[in-house]
Amino acid sequence: MIEKIQPPQDAAPSNLLAYRITGEITKKKRKAVSEDMRRAIDAHGAIRILLIVEPYPDIVIGADGLYENLKFIMIHSGAIQRLALVSRKFSEETYMAIFGLFSGIPTEHFHPDRMQAAWKWISE
Q: What is the CATH number for 14? A: 3.30.750
Closest listed residue to residue 95, CA positions, set 122, 65, 115: 65
Q: Indicate left, alpha or beta for 101 from its phi (over 0: left) and psi (-120 to 50: alpha).
A: alpha
Domain that holds residue 83: 2-123
pLDDT mean for each 10 residues of the chain (124 residues): 84 88 81 90 95 70 61 80 87 74 87 94 93
90-124: pLDDT as tens digits: 666 777 777 777 788 899 999 999 999 999 999 98
Residue 81 CA neighbour count, 13 Å, CB half: 16
Predicted TM-score (pTM) of the model is: 0.83
CB 104 within 8 A of CB 79: no
Overall domain count for the chain: 1
pLDDT at 12: 75
